[in-house]
Amino acid sequence: MNKTTILVVEDDAPIRNLITTTLKAHDYKYLTAPNGEQAILAASSYQPDIVLLDLGLPDLDGVEVIERIRSWSNLPIIVISARSEDEDKIQALDAGADDYLTKPFSVEELLARLRVTQRRLAITSNEAPGSPVFVNGNLKIDYAAGCTYLNGEELHLTPMEYKILCVLAQNVGKVLTHKYLTQKVWGSSWENQVASLRVFVATLRRKLEPEPDSPQMIQTHVGVGYRMLKVET
């Protein structure tokens, strides 16, 4: 029995019905809100596990809804945007959204995003907050010692690779934008730093991934950023 409760925020009734029908068929519980104000109210009164948030709402800007929810809660937010709203999607991720779906999306995509988010919830609830050790599949990071291991053997990373890996690990399951990553790593976000980021991620993958060309752990989101996926063991 799937006890995860999803708050579905969508003003477009046919899409809302498609989502809720899918959720029902897969034993999710759900609540719905047709606008931003009701979404904020529902998020605070019913404490759902995950929010599915359409960015184009009649009353509030979706980004504002994220900022307001983030003022008290870290609950996962998956945004839904139209293809023409690419900028909005990046802004939403910068404001604290975890993941995104682009319209039109399939039922399979929706379910896959929910599974990724549920895995992330499972890790964050299993791990003691502020745990000094991070484990994902064959990868282990000992934050206190500043060491990284792959299959039990120490990995030799450059300080920059290590820094990027730590930011990805601390946000496992979450899509991080180029801007977020470069600001965390360099303290600023210039176009040439985004280019450096690509280079460092490529060298990191060669050290981490058995097949760097089809990465299992560090996923690329073209034009958006990167995400570390929880590897199934």
Binding site residues, Ca ion, CB under 5 A: 11-12, 54, 56
The residue at minimum Cβ distance from Ca ion is 56
Strand 139-142 versus strand 147-150 pairing type: antiparallel
In angstroms, give the least distance from the CB of 69 to Ca ion: 18
- Torsion sign over Cα 152, 157, 161, 163: positive
Closer Cβ to Ca ion, 69 or 181, answer by number: 69
Encoding tokens for residue 202? 């490529």
Q: Alpha-carbon distance 203 to 158, whole Å?
A: 10
In angstroms, give the least distance from the CB of 58 to Ca ion: 8
Q: How many helices (H) and strands (E) does the chain have?
A: 8, 12
In angstroms, give the least distance from the CB of 101 to Ca ion: 13
Closer Cβ to Ca ion, 36 or 215, answer by number: 36
In angstroms, give the least distance from the CB of 111 to Ca ion: 21
| Strand residues in the chain grouped as ranges (E) | 5-9, 29-33, 50-54, 77-82, 99-103, 133-136, 139-142, 147-150, 153-155, 176-177, 218-221, 225-228
**DSSP for residue 39:** H
In angstroms, give the least distance from the CB of 11 to Ca ion: 5
Closer Cβ to Ca ion, 16 or 113, answer by number: 16
Closer Cβ to Ca ion, 14 or 159, answer by number: 14
Closer Cβ to Ca ion, 60 or 169, answer by number: 60
Q: Alpha-carbon distance 37 to 31, whole Å?
A: 14
Task: Give the sheet arrangement for strand 218-221, strand by strand.
Answer: 176-177, 225-228, 218-221
Closer Cβ to Ca ion, 56 or 137, answer by number: 56
Closer Cβ to Ca ion, 104 or 210, answer by number: 104
| Strand residues in 46-137 grouped as ranges (E) | 50-54, 77-82, 99-103, 133-136
Strand 218-221 versus strand 225-228 pairing type: antiparallel
In angstroms, give the least distance from the CB of 48 to Ca ion: 19
In angstroms, give the least distance from the CB of 73 to Ca ion: 22
